[in-house]
Amino acid sequence: MLQACYFNVESQALMNNKEARSERHWLEVLAEIARGKRELPDRMDRLVTIARPFAGDNVLHFYCPPFGLHLYDGRFRSYECRSGEAL
């Protein structure tokens, strides 16, 4: 789904909410994980996805993509597309 929106998944991590913790606590934990100061626990129930946008040909779109996403795809960039319109 993310690739269809011109994102590449860089990493995914699961988080467990064994104990009720505040949102601030989980943001601090995520920051420590991102800096490599903490590892993820074994059991988890939430998925955190890091995705980066890309510009280029997206093999998932055979027709002009919706929502102005055609601007990121070289095949459709110079073409004024309406959603779902073929070239």
Is residue 78 pLDDT above 80, yes or no?
A: no
**How many domains does one find in the chain?**
2
Q: Tell me: do 60 and 35 sit in the same domain.
A: no
The pLDDT, as a whole number, for residue 59 is 81
> Do both 8 and 49 map to the same domain?
yes
Q: Which two tokens stand for residue 52?
A: 């980066």
The tally of CA atoms less than 13 A away on the side-chain side of residue 70 is 20
| Inter-residue contact 19 to 41 (CB < 8 Å) | no
Same domain (yes/no): 46, 72: no
Domain shared by 35 and 49, yes or no? yes
pLDDT for position 51: 93
Domain of 71 in residue numbering reads as 55-87
For the full predicted model, state whether its pTM sits above 0.75: no
- pLDDT (tens digit per residue) in 20-72: 567 788 788 888 888 888 776 655 567 889 999 888 888 888 888 888 788 88
Place of tokens 């004024």: 80
